[in-house]
């Protein structure tokens, strides 16, 4: 029944499809998954922290008690008891978040895509940190904005640098807690100043918070959404506190925006798995995360400490790095003449991997930066890998 000699298709793609690039990190990961490589390149949480037994019990319970509902189509905005749980956990400091403001998404990456879809026209000004989260740059790029890189320093984003570029911009995207890629956090004073600055300009502020719960001390930073619930869009995820493979995140937004996001989600994938939402609610509803998260903090905190000590010991003078108080990443700044991309080739030849910093910049990259993740590597391998990297860098000083 095959037809004879069909004309080949001359594919014509949408202009936005020309913006699509594979994440450089995902490309590196393909190379560095070989077991002999000590990889600091990953952005994956440690599977040692996944509550497999709790998930198994919850799947069994939800399917046994409520299988027909869990397996049927569900509402676009999500499973209400879970949205209520999220709203309750975010309310505080005199600000009340309503479940109607919560839209469940297929990982927080989808929230980025929906925000781009609903807020960004071609050429719209979009403000991002320098450097910024690569997944956000990728998601927004599809909608062809003009990215403006906002200044940062050791306290994170510099709010005053927004003033000249805020008016007419569509959004400011910030990752204030233990940022990916730098591991830096926005200081409390800066948070207030940032929220005030955005409010003065009427500029929507996106607070992306996948790592907020992973403070090693257990002390959380205040959330900006509580400082101005009508002007801040909050993004959360179960990927780093529970498990990423189930793809469950959420976005919390002021009502006019969340309704548009919901319509965009309906057109994009109808809704996120009911079963997954019911299972996650079953796992967390009675305080599981309060018992579980301290073990993740402790694991990551110890490995971060091991890496910081190793850096101190093995990296030559003239190299600097951040000292994270939580999360999964350390950001290294080399002397300007060392190109991290070239260093990566040598490192892989010596069986160590990391992610060069360049892809994290929306505009002109600092090519002498790199990102290290410590969460999936045991301390002795961390020391071994950092020693190798230190030698390679020292040879270039």
Q: Binders of its own copies among 261-320, rule CB under 8 A?
A: 263-264, 266-276
Least distance to its own copies, CB of residue 260, Å? 5
231 near its own copies, rule: CB under 8 A: yes
Pick one of 7, 164, 287, 349: the residue that binds its own copies (CB under 8 A).
7
Task: Give the integer Cα–Cα distance in Å for 395 and 397.
Answer: 6
Pick one of 32, 38, 40, 76: the residue that binds its own copies (CB under 8 A).
76
388 near its own copies, rule: CB under 8 A: no
Q: Which of 210, 211, 154 is nearest to 184 (CA)?
A: 154
Least distance to its own copies, CB of residue 315, Å? 29
Is residue 244 within 8 Å of 45, Cβ to Cβ? yes
Least distance to its own copies, CB of residue 120, Å? 6
123 near its own copies, rule: CB under 8 A: no
Task: Give the integer Cα–Cα distance in Å for 295 and 242.
Answer: 12
What strands lie across the sheet with 146-150, from one edge to the other? 102-105, 249-252, 232-237, 205-208, 171-174, 125-129, 146-150
Q: Which of 258, 221, 217 is nearest to 114 (CA)?
A: 258
Task: Give the integer Cα–Cα distance in Å for 228 and 205.
Answer: 10
Q: Which is nearer to its own copies, 44 or 80 (CB)?
A: 44
80 near its own copies, rule: CB under 8 A: no
Least distance to its own copies, CB of residue 291, Å? 18
364 near its own copies, rule: CB under 8 A: no
Radius of gyration of the chain (CA): 22
199 near its own copies, rule: CB under 8 A: yes
Site for its own copies in 33-52 (CB under 8 A): 44-45, 47, 50, 52
Site for its own copies in 129-158 (CB under 8 A): 135, 138-139, 141-143
Q: What are the residue ranges of helices labelled H in 167-287? A: 188-201, 255-269, 274-284
Q: Which is nearer to its own copies, 185 or 276 (CB)?
A: 276
Phi, psi at residue 4, to the nearest 5°? Answer: -90, 135
Site for its own copies in 161-190 (CB under 8 A): 170
Task: Give the integer Cα–Cα distance in Å for 168 and 115.
Answer: 17
Find the part of the chain contacting its own copies (CB under 8 A) among 66-74, 150-158, 302-310, 335-343. 66-74
Pick one of 41, 82, 206, 246: the residue that binds its own copies (CB under 8 A).
246
243 near its own copies, rule: CB under 8 A: yes
Q: Which is nearer to its own copies, 206 or 311 (CB)?
A: 206
336 near its own copies, rule: CB under 8 A: no
Phi, psi at residue 277, to the nearest 5°? Answer: -65, -40
Least distance to its own copies, CB of residue 19, Å? 9
247 near its own copies, rule: CB under 8 A: yes
63 near its own copies, rule: CB under 8 A: yes
70 near its own copies, rule: CB under 8 A: yes
To 5 degrees, how large is the angle CA 206–CA 289–CA 75?
A: 60
107 near its own copies, rule: CB under 8 A: yes
397 near its own copies, rule: CB under 8 A: no
Q: Which is nearer to its own copies, 23 or 305 (CB)?
A: 23
Is residue 291 within 8 Å of 40, Cβ to Cβ? no
56 near its own copies, rule: CB under 8 A: yes
> How does DSSP assign 75-140, residue by residue?
-SS--HHHHHHHHHHH-BTTB---GGGEEEESHHHHHHHHHHHHH--TT-EEEEESS--HHHHHHH
Task: Give the integer Cα–Cα distance in Å for 390 and 397.
Answer: 11
């Amino acid at each position: 029944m095959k037809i004879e000699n069909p004309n080949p298709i001359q594919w014509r793609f949408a202009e936005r499809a020309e913006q699509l690039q594979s994440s450089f990190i995902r490309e590196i990961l393909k190379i560095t998954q070989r077991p002999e490589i000590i990889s600091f390149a990953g952005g994956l949480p440690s599977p040692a922290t996944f509550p497999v037994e709790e998930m198994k019990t919850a799947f069994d319970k939800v399917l046994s008690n409520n299988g027909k509902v869990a397996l049927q189509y569900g509402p676009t905005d999500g499973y209400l008891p879970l949205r209520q749980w999220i709203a309750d956990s975010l309310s505080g400091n005199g600000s009340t978040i309503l479940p109607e403001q919560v839209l469940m998404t297929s990982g927080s990456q989808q929230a980025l895509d929906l925000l781009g879809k609903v807020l960004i026209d071609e050429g719209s000004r979009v403000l991002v940190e320098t450097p910024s989260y690569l997944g956000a740059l990728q998601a927004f790029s599809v909608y062809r904005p003009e990215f403006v890189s906002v200044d940062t320093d050791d306290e994170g984003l510099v709010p005053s640098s927004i003033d000249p570029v805020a008016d007419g911009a569509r959004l400011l995207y910030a990752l204030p807690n233990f940022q990916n890629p730098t591991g830096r956090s926005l200081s409390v004073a800066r948070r207030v100043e940032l929220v005030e600055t955005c409010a003065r300009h009427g500029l929507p502020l996106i607070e992306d918070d996948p790592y907020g719960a992973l403070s090693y001390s257990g002390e959380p930073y205040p959330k900006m959404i509580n400082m101005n619930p009508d002007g801040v869009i909050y993004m959360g995820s179960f990927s780093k506190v529970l498990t990423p493979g189930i793809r469950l995140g959420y976005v919390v937004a002021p009502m006019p925006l969340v309704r548009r996001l919901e319509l965009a989600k309906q057109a994009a994938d109808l809704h996120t798995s009911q079963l997954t939402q019911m299972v996650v609610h079953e796992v967390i509803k009675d305080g599981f995360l309060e018992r579980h998260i301290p073990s993740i903090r402790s694991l990551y905190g110890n490995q971060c400490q091991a890496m910081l000590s190793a850096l101190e010991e093995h990296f030559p003078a003239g190299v600097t790095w951040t000292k994270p108080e939580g999360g999964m990443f350390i950001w290294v700044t080399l002397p300007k003449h060392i190109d991290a991309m070239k260093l990566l080739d040598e490192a892989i030849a010596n069986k160590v991997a990391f992610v060069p910093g360049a892809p994290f910049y929306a505009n002109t990259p600092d090519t002498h930066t790199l990102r290290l993740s410590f969460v999936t590597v045991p301390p002795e391998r961390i020391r071994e890998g950092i020693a190798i990297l230190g030698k390679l860098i020292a040879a270039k000083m």
